[in-house]
A and B are shown apart, each in its own frame.
Chain A
């Protein structure tokens, strides 16, 4: 069965370190998204991609970067981790096309920045 996986599931890091969260999907979806979930804020979009070599900034992109070298993967990098980036991160994917397509979510990565 097709799926979307994230690794690691839990990560503890220190302020200032670079961290990369992996996202891999086997749906063959063109569209991929990264969100962070914080209490009181719901899900906020960090970056998204509509295909290979395409990346776009979302609502809360400062301090984060992504690259898309193939259809299956969209890694999220925190250039210099800050305590404000402690959160639960979700990766999602959807079929190419209009906004009518639902998103399929990974299990999430809980990141703690000390």
Chain B
């Protein structure tokens, strides 16, 4: 069965600190997709990144980087030199294709990041 665990409920850091948000997943499929979404205080969820199970290459986008490790079933998200605007709830999600041609999408419980000035 699918499962996404974000063990960190809330993290507080001081501006300019680096912070890593953990995501651990469970799946029986060999083909699956992992996502990160950001939910700022305004409430709307915003897509950040997608990774498929065959691509373990880490990705960097500005101050954001993602570390995908199949060996530990983890897809962690690091923000370098955090800023107040990074304050948000971050969700990790897993999707896998069903044999019926559909797919299941499941979210973790989210990590609330507070960046203090």
Chain A residues at the B interface, C-beta cutoff of 8 Å: 33, 35, 40-45, 50, 56, 88, 90, 92, 98-100, 102-108
Asked if B64 CB lies within 8 Å of chain A CBs, one says no
- Chain A residues lying within 8 Å of B95, measured Cβ to Cβ, are 99-100
The answer to whether B91 and A50 have CB atoms under 8 Å apart is no
Across chains A and B, the number of contacting residue pairs, with CB separation under 8 Å, is 53
* B contact patch SS: strand
Shortest B55–chain A CB gap in Å is 11
The answer to whether B44 and A106 have CB atoms under 8 Å apart is yes
The answer to whether B91 and A99 have CB atoms under 8 Å apart is no
Q: Using an 8 Å CB-CB cutoff, how does the interface string of B18-33 with A read, 1 for contact, 0 for none? A: 0000000000000011
Shortest A44–chain B CB gap in Å is 8
Which of B32, B47, B96, B109 is the one whose CB lies under 8 Å from A103? B47
Asked if B97 CB lies within 8 Å of chain A CBs, one says yes
Interface residues on B, range: 20 to 34
The answer to whether B43 and A108 have CB atoms under 8 Å apart is yes
- Chain B residues lying within 8 Å of A41, measured Cβ to Cβ, are 109
Asked if B52 CB lies within 8 Å of chain A CBs, one says yes
- Residue ID in chain B nearest A35 by CB atoms: B107
* A contact patch SS: strand
The answer to whether B103 and A99 have CB atoms under 8 Å apart is yes
- Residue ID in chain B nearest A108 by CB atoms: B43
- Chain B residues lying within 8 Å of A92, measured Cβ to Cβ, are 45
Q: Using an 8 Å CB-CB cutoff, how does the interface string of B96-113 with A read, 1 for contact, 0 for none? A: 110000111111111000
- Residue ID in chain B nearest A90 by CB atoms: B45
- Chain A residues lying within 8 Å of B105, measured Cβ to Cβ, are 33, 45, 99, 103
Which of B6, B45, B97, B107 is the one whose CB lies under 8 Å from A99? B97
How many angstroms between the C-alpha atoms of A41 and B96 in the bound complex? 20
Known A40-B109, A42-B107, A99-B104; contact A107-B33, beta-carbon cutoff 8 A? no
How many angstroms between the C-alpha atoms of A46 and B110 in the bound complex? 18
